[in-house]
């Protein structure tokens, strides 16, 4: 799910229903904690007498509904955790997705899942009376850390949350400026080889060009007719082919070549290599040694 043009699609407003239901239930409690002391004072009754008559006699009902809504709350969070994990596994299978973005998803989904599981274990343990002393402080600290990590991650790499706005940019982006930025991009890719950085992202590359991530995405899509992930893969695989053809690399392990061109693991490298070249790196290396390779990448 991405945010389009700074706004969530209307259908995603349905996800706020659990929050709306729970907030509606909490309104009386919020009202009581803000006005309760004044109400007790105006009743001219001792606080313990007033609470016994107005509040405590409904304790069983209050606790029942509190448990129901809390159960709905952590059940909803666990369901979202499962859905997010399924989404992550689906993303992993798509070789068009850049490694950096997948790791961004992984870190945030892990934090959210830890948050949901911690919240659930806390309340279940509390209800069953098996919550160890001091455990609530540990849970609170863990949940707080998860919240801050997710927020910090979104602040550092906001481009993963927003879809490109090509339609609006197309109207305002002059042909000359587009050509200039395209040439700068190609020169940067050839000379500085930023794709060898395993942590390279759309935002990082845009910063190197002094343009926005939306502008860079627009250039890659319209001028080069590909997406950011494919662009990085293409340069990495082209360099990998060159290294594999270099006789000084004949005794070098394929994993070392993968690291040299910007990949962090052999599986992703193999998948990308096979997609662009048609065979695995090991087979390609054998073909090179047997003089069976005529052309690498045009």
pLDDT digits (tens, 9 = 90+) for 184-238: 999 999 999 999 999 899 889 998 999 888 889 889 988 998 889 899 999 999 9
CA-closest candidate to residue 238, choices 282, 291, 195: 195
Of 1-15, 80-94, 161-175, 256-270, the one with minimum mean pLDDT is 161-175
**pTM summary value:** 0.49
Q: pLDDT tens-digit profile of 66-115?
A: 778 778 888 888 899 999 888 888 766 654 445 667 778 888 999 999 99
């Amino acid at each position: 799910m991405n945010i389009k043009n700074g706004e969530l699609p209307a259908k995603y407003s349905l996800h706020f229903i659990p929050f709306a239901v729970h907030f509606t239930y909490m309104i009386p409690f919020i009202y009581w904690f803000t006005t309760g002391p004044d109400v007790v004072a105006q009743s001219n009754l001792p606080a313990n007498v007033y609470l016994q008559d107005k509040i405590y006699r409904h304790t069983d009902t209050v606790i029942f509904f509190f448990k129901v809504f809390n159960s709905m709350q952590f059940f909803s969070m666990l369901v979202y955790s499962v859905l997010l994990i399924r989404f992550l596994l689906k993303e992993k299978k798509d070789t068009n997705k850049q490694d950096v973005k997948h790791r961004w998803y992984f870190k945030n989904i892990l934090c959210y899942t830890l948050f949901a599981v911690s919240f659930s274990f806390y309340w279940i343990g509390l209800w069953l009376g098996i919550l160890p002393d001091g455990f609530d402080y540990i849970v609170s600290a863990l949940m707080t850390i998860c919240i801050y990590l997710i927020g910090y991650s979104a602040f550092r790499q906001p481009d993963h949350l927003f879809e490109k706005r090509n339609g609006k940019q197309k109207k305002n982006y002059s042909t000359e400026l587009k050509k200039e930025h395209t040439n700068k991009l190609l020169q940067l890719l050839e000379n500085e080889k930023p794709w060898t950085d395993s942590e390279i992202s759309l935002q990082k590359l845009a910063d190197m060009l002094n343009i926005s991530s939306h502008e860079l995405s627009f250039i890659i899509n319209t001028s080069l007719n590909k997406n950011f992930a494919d662009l990085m893969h293409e340069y990495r695989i082209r360099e990998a082919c060159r290294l594999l053809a270099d006789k000084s690399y004949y005794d070098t392990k394929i994993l070392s070549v993968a690291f040299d061109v910007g990949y962090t693991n052999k599986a992703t490298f193999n998948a990308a290599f096979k997609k662009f070249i048609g065979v695995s790196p090991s087979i390609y290396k054998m073909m090179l040694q047997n003089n069976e390779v005529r052309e690498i990448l045009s």
